[in-house]
């Protein structure tokens, strides 16, 4: 904001996209006054969620399915004090603890109704000693989640990121991070185009790579996580589910192996990707 290169336009909505050859124009309507404005730039990045107007105006399909389960997103203020070690505890030796007390905004998504009594019952179930916590629910909203992937996440000068390009249920802390990785790799690609003279074609392998991440990593991972939560009482889960099998007797090697896809597959190294293309 301090650079003057970023401007926020409140009470505005995207109504049209115009391809102008080497640039793109976004037609914006002020929802209060009703007047329209045109903003021209090198790219129009769609970051407007699973109901993306940018994606629809670009004519990009969004196939997949919607989960029948509804989730509740809550913004809560929670006062608590907790202790955590500053170094790995050693048996029979004294440990140096870190003690923190704070008011922190937390988000959680229980599969319950939005009544206060129901939500506080949920806290009692998931917190070891809820009586030691002071919790205030500030906001709550019910929404549906999806497993959907756009047929392309780049059309001419209109790339898509986050839920506008792919949408998955957020269980396992997989809601916001995928979009951050989309934006990070897109920013790398744009810098290579602007500063190194790379072709705009670089956005095509970027689109393919990010879609592949969803198809082979995000979609199966988040689907399996939600299904585990739907059927948590299965008597044979501890032995039949590979995830729970790995929790029985984990070793450093097995944990590293399970975590490797998050480091090697989830993100996209645009520098390495560009080497395979004549861009």
Q: Give the pLDDT of residue 195.
A: 94
Longest dimension (CA), the chain: 72
Nearest by Cα to 182 from 198, 203, 201, 196: 203
With beta carbons less than 8 A apart as the criterion, state whether 264 and 209 touch: no
Question: Rounded distance, CA 201 to CA 279, Å?
Answer: 7
Ordered by start, the domain boundaries in the chain are: 1-62, 66-146, 168-278
Q: Is 231 helix (H, G, I), strand (E, B) or coil?
A: coil
pTM above 0.75, yes or no: yes
Q: Give the pLDDT of residue 208.
A: 96
Q: Measured between alpha carbons, how far apart are the two ends of the chain, in Å?
A: 32
| Residue 149, token pair as written in the block | 């992937």
Question: Rounded distance, CA 109 to CA 122, Å?
Answer: 10
| Residue 154, token pair as written in the block | 């780049």
Which residues are bridge partners to 27 per DSSP?
Answer: 16, 38
The pLDDT profile of the chain, 279 residues, written as one tens digit per residue, is 678 888 888 999 999 999 988 899 999 999 999 999 999 999 999 999 999 999 999 999 999 999 988 787 777 776 655 545 555 666 666 555 443 333 334 444 444 457 777 777 777 776 666 565 677 777 777 788 899 999 999 998 999 999 999 999 998 889 899 999 999 999 999 999 999 999 999 999 999 999 999 999 999 999 999 988 877 666 777 777 888 877 888 889 988 988 899 999 999 999 999 987 766
Nearest by Cα to 156 from 29, 239, 48, 44: 44
Tell how many helices (H) and how many strands (E) occur in the chain.
9, 9
Provide CB contacts within 8 A for 29, sequence distance 6+.
Answer: 12, 13, 15, 35, 36
Other residues' Cβ atoms within 10 Å of the Cβ of residue 189: 26
Q: Give the pLDDT of residue 95.
A: 55
DSSP state of 151: S
């Amino acid at each position: 904001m301090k650079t003057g290169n970023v401007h926020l336009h409140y009470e505005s909505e995207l109504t049209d996209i115009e391809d102008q050859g080497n640039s793109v124009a976004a037609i914006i309507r002020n929802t209060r006054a009703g007047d329209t404005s045109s903003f021209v730039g090198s790219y129009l990045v769609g970051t407007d969620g699973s109901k993306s107007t940018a994606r629809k105006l670009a004519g990009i399909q969004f196939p997949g399915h919607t989960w029948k389960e509804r989730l509740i997103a809550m913004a809560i203020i929670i006062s608590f004090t907790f202790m955590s070690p500053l170094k790995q505890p050693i048996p029979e030796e004294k440990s140096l603890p870190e003690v923190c007390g704070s008011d922190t905004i937390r988000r959680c998504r229980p599969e319950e109704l939005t009544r206060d009594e129901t939500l506080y019952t949920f806290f009692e179930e998931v917190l070891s000693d809820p009586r030691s916590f002071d919790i205030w629910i500030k906001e709550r909203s019910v929404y549906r989640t999806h497993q959907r992937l756009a047929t392309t996440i780049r059309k001419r000068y209109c790339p898509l990121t986050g839920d506008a390009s792919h949408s998955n249920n957020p269980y396992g802390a997989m809601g916001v991070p995928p979009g951050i990785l989309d934006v990070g790799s897109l920013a790398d690609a744009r810098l290579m185009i602007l500063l190194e003279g790379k072709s705009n074609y670089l956005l095509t392998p970027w689109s393919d790579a990010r879609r592949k991440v969803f198809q082979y990593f995000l979609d199966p991972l988040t689907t399996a996580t939600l299904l585990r939560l739907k059927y948590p009482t299965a008597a044979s889960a501890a032995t039949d589910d590979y995830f729970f099998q790995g929790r029985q007797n984990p070793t450093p090697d097995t944990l590293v192996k399970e975590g490797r896809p998050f480091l090697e597959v989830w993100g996209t190294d645009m520098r390495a990707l560009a080497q395979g293309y004549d861009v």
